Amino acid sequence: MRKGKKYIESAKLVDRSKLYDTDEALDMVLKTAKAKFDETVEIHVKLGVDSRHADQQVRGAIVLPNGTGKNVRVLVFAKGDKAQAALDAGAEFVGAEDMVQRIQKENFFDYDVVIASPDMMGLVGRLGRVLGPKGLMPNPKAGTVTMDVAKAVKDAKAGKIEYRLDKTNIIHCPIGKASFGVEKLSENFNTLMNAIIKAKPAAAKGQYIRSCVVASTMGPGVKVNAAKIGNN
């Protein structure tokens, strides 16, 4: 893939052999975020676990103190009082069988988070094949299968993100927008990293945080010194 001129210029600013302290790394990311839009800042953390083993999964959800900067659209599967509570909390879409039909027949995916009350999971299970690959399937560990759908909606709107390992044992998460500045991004970074460290499986051996890279949407990756973020 050919890199653009701005990317090449930005990449020259980054010392590839250096492990930066968190704030220094984030400052470098902001200097290299040169796109015309407000770029998302992402974190990529490689862990010393094996995601193929059930006892080495790392997964959870956390509300970032400064949010993600993204307008999050929420779909809730609920009925009766819970459906009303979800609407009152600001959910864009609320339904039950009608929403399943809409997703199956119309390929409706105009939302970022899916929440369900536990009694709806039999129904939502039919959508596993379409919601699963998109990372949208409600899950109790992520707090998206819950009796308190109103709180889940508010959390999602406030900047709740889910972190989970991919097949290569890396966690990819947004931690805000370039316009946040270093201080807010640093708070979000530390909140997420502390959650990942707390989620360390008992079965994990050796160095837990192998590497950590931060980058903006269009910018180069900047390596963070993992030893300084509560490693091991």
pLDDT in tens, 66-110: 999 989 999 999 999 999 999 999 999 999 999 999 999 999 999
**Cα separation of 130 and 137, whole Å?**
9
Task: Report pTM.
Answer: 0.81
From first CA to last CA, the distance across the chain in angstroms is 36
- Burial classification of residue 144, based on how many CB atoms lie within 10 Å of its CB (0-12 exposed, 13-18 middle, 19 or more buried): buried
Q: Please answer whether residues 161 and 173 qualify as being in contact, where contact means their C-beta atoms are separated by less than 8 angstroms.
A: yes
**Cα separation of 127 and 146, whole Å?**
18
70 vs 36, 67, 112, 156, 175, CA distance in Å?
A: 17, 8, 10, 10, 10
**Cα separation of 119 and 28, whole Å?**
47
pLDDT tens across 172-225, in order?
A: 999 999 999 999 999 999 999 999 999 999 998 889 999 999 999 998 899 999
